[in-house]
Chains A and B, each alone.
Chain A
Amino acid sequence: MSEDQDKFIADVVEKALQGDMDAINNIEDRVTRSKAKAALVKAKREAKAAATEDTSKSEESKTEESAPVEKSLSEKVAACLNEKFPNSLESEDVNGHIQMKDKNWFEIAQYLRDNLDFLFDSLQCVTGYDFGENEDLEVRYNLHSMTHNHAIEIRIKTDRNNPKVPSVEQVWRIGDWFERETYDMYGIEFEGHSNMTRILCPEDWAGWPLRKDYETQESYHGIVVQKVKDGWE
């Protein structure tokens, strides 16, 4: 069984190296599919290593002349996304993070997860962020790849009065709970989420606690909420 499987995976990887990704994407069983993808990554890496040995000599002469800075991962990802999904990045500047518009976030997330160069298969953290009173809100995603061991950060700004961001629950399953927590704390609604309810605060709590202009409610079910003194005296 495993010999057949190895042969099958080798065939599929061959086809993919020549540019035909459908063979891999059409594999039903997800265990086999992920094995095929990992094998493809390995094959590409080996091919690249063989190729760079040849071209490194010619590259050296070039780098001595112009000395361009090695592109960081975020810049590479930003460039790639600009090509594939034009007009989805908020700004070209990459300061260790990628600022994005919320338009195609779901498709971009899928692309980032499935693209073999990046393979960001793990959503590490979703943080909500408040720029201040009467300013925008922001959602920050920390993505990480187990296979390549690299990480990037993506930020999406959204309007304070009507904060909506596409949900990535179907892309990374942990998005479910992380987004519920961000909704609970900041009030940012994630469109397409199957169960957009509070997770840490009680269901009928009023207000978004982690916003900078949050005021605790007067009482909750008849229990008086103690007033917090300003400045933590």
Chain B
Amino acid sequence: MGVVHGDLMTLNIGPQHPSTHGVLRLKVKTDGEIISEVEPIIGYLHRCFEKHCENVSYEQVIPYTDRCDYIAAMNNNFGYAVTVEELMEIKVPERVEYIRVIVAELNRIASHLLALGAYGLDVGAFTPFLYMFRDRERILDLFETLCGARLLYNYIWVGGVSHDLPPGFIDAVYSFLDYFEPKIEEYNELLTYNKIFIERTGDVGVMPPEVAVSYGVTGPNLRGSGVKWDIRKDEPYSIYDKFDFNIPVGAGKMGTVGDCWDRYFVRMVEMKESVKITRQALKGIPAGDVHQTLPKKIRPPQGSIYKRTESPRGDLAYYIVSDGSPIPYRLKMRSPAFTALSVLGEISQGWMMSDVLVILGSLDIVLGEIDR
């Protein structure tokens, strides 16, 4: 950064802007074209999720969790259900575990498709956005046959799932996976290895691993900086330890380790790994019950628990304090996008105005989760 600064100009990238990230306001101080400070201002989508949870019963919280990270709703439900089940120390039937993994991984693919497509749109490539949404539609159709909803499912309940798999579901998922795997190659050809895309995203917004860890960044953002950390492997929950899959990390192939291209590519490869996991789960799914017999009102014993799960955006954790009543006393949701957004100010210093949106897109945030 130069020694001589002219007057810093404050710009506003307002709460409404044409990206699928949500209502976010960025206060940008620039010195000509070069950014000297970016301050994200959030709170436009705050819907008092945690206060609601202190007034409704444990089962009634689940639709609220859907609406936090509305793009990966299954994973939100999953995290909450796993947390409450660990607090109550109950074990769910085997079939439930397999179903949960299948829908969570399908939702991970859908969420990454949206993130990558919207990222292409931010950079100016219109076509990959439409291709990825076309494939996302197929996943949403699958979910619609499963639980009736396309985006906000209320499917994974404490102690089981709400409905069993409809007949023909497994075949439908198999045919989707067969259709989808070659598409990833198509996206790579169209966008990932496109020279212009690499120019725009390679070497831009580098996030060193210490900065990432200090800012609490997790998930693909952290893996893009070269840190091999995935809760599905390092602190496995549910039945993830039974599956064989790799954790992709950024290696600085098209620039520096931890640049936007790395984060993008980690998501791309993660979709392939999710396909692998789903195939293994489909093969091994046992017959059985889809509900654990639980009392009508869930009363976890007194105590507190902090449990982490891996959502497509990173490390989603719930901190639940129970006082023995059917209503949670305190429920805190630690959302991965909250920490991802906080690092924006640090990694976008010194870049140009057009790069702010490129960096923001690579962090893959969802305002619903940040503001709750």
- Considering the complex, which residues of chain B in the window 40-56 have a beta carbon less than 8 Å from any beta carbon of chain A? 42-43, 46, 48, 50-51, 54-56
Docked complex Cα distance between A201 and B54 (Å): 18
Whole-angstrom distance from the CB of B360 to the nearest CB of chain A?
A: 16
Residues of chain B with a CB closer than 8 A to A140's CB: 319
Q: A176-B342, A199-B42, A202-B43 are in contact. Are A121 and B214 (CB under 8 A)?
A: yes
Q: Are A174 and B42 in contact (CB under 8 A)?
A: no
Residues of chain A with a CB closer than 8 A to B306's CB: 124-125, 142, 151, 153
Cβ of B351 < 8 Å from any Cβ of A?
Answer: no
Cβ of B235 < 8 Å from any Cβ of A?
Answer: yes
Cβ of B213 < 8 Å from any Cβ of A?
Answer: yes
Docked complex Cα distance between A2 and B319 (Å): 43
- Considering the complex, which residues of chain B in the window 326-353 have a beta carbon less than 8 Å from any beta carbon of chain A? 330, 332, 334, 338-339, 342, 346
Residues of chain A with a CB closer than 8 A to B216's CB: 122-124, 172, 174
Q: Are B234 and A149 in contact (CB under 8 A)?
A: yes
Query: Which residue of chain A lies nearest to B338 when distances are taken between CB atoms in the complex?
Result: A177
Q: Are B51 and A125 in contact (CB under 8 A)?
A: no
Residues of chain B with a CB closer than 8 A to A201's CB: 43, 46
Q: Are A210 and B342 in contact (CB under 8 A)?
A: no
Whole-angstrom distance from the CB of A130 to the nearest CB of chain B?
A: 8
Q: Are A210 and B214 in contact (CB under 8 A)?
A: no
Cβ of B197 < 8 Å from any Cβ of A?
Answer: no
Cβ of A173 < 8 Å from any Cβ of B?
Answer: yes
- Considering the complex, which residues of chain A in the window 162-184 have a beta carbon less than 8 Å from any beta carbon of chain B? 172-174, 176-177
Docked complex Cα distance between A30 and B371 (Å): 33
Residues of chain A with a CB closer than 8 A to B48's CB: 209
Q: Are A232 and B214 in contact (CB under 8 A)?
A: no
Docked complex Cα distance between A56 and B214 (Å): 37
- Considering the complex, which residues of chain A in the window 92-139 have a beta carbon less than 8 Å from any beta carbon of chain B? 97, 121-125, 127, 129-130
Q: Are A174 and B214 in contact (CB under 8 A)?
A: yes
Residues of chain A with a CB closer than 8 A to B338's CB: 177
Give the interface size bracket for B toward A.
35 or more
Cβ of A50 < 8 Å from any Cβ of B?
Answer: no
Q: A127-B332, A177-B342, A201-B43 are in contact. Are A121 and B234 (CB under 8 A)?
A: no
Residue interface mask B289-319, A partner, CB < 8 A = 1: 0000000000000001010100000010101
Whole-angstrom distance from the CB of A221 to the nearest CB of chain B?
A: 15
Docked complex Cα distance between A210 and B332 (Å): 11
From the candidates B51, B334, B342, B372, name the one contacting A124 in the complex (CB within 8 A).
B334
Query: Which residue of chain A lies nearest to B56 when distances are taken between CB atoms in the complex?
Result: A232
Residues of chain B with a CB closer than 8 A to A130's CB: 330
Cβ of B229 < 8 Å from any Cβ of A?
Answer: yes
Cβ of A52 < 8 Å from any Cβ of B?
Answer: no
Residues of chain A with a CB closer than 8 A to B346's CB: 173
Docked complex Cα distance between A153 and B54 (Å): 22
Q: A30-B210, A121-B214, A210-B51 are in contact. Are A174 and B317 (CB under 8 A)?
A: no
Q: Are A127 and B330 in contact (CB under 8 A)?
A: yes
Q: Are A200 and B319 in contact (CB under 8 A)?
A: no
Cβ of A51 < 8 Å from any Cβ of B?
Answer: no
Query: Which residue of chain A lies nearest to B323 when distances are taken between CB atoms in the complex?
Result: A132
Whole-angstrom distance from the CB of B32 to the nearest CB of chain A?
A: 26
Q: Are A127 and B319 in contact (CB under 8 A)?
A: yes
Cβ of B208 < 8 Å from any Cβ of A?
Answer: yes
Question: What are 28 residue pairs bridging A and B, where the CB atoms are less than 8 Å apart in the complex?
Answer: A97-B304, A122-B213, A122-B214, A124-B306, A124-B315, A124-B317, A125-B319, A125-B332, A129-B330, A142-B306, A142-B317, A146-B213, A146-B227, A146-B229, A149-B235, A172-B214, A172-B216, A173-B215, A173-B346, A174-B215, A174-B216, A199-B43, A200-B42, A200-B46, A201-B43, A201-B46, A209-B51, A210-B54
Other contacts beyond A172-B216, A177-B342: 20, CB < 8 A: A30-B210, A31-B210, A121-B213, A121-B214, A122-B213, A122-B214, A124-B334, A125-B319, A127-B332, A140-B319, A142-B317, A142-B319, A149-B235, A173-B214, A173-B215, A173-B346, A185-B50, A199-B42, A200-B371, A210-B54
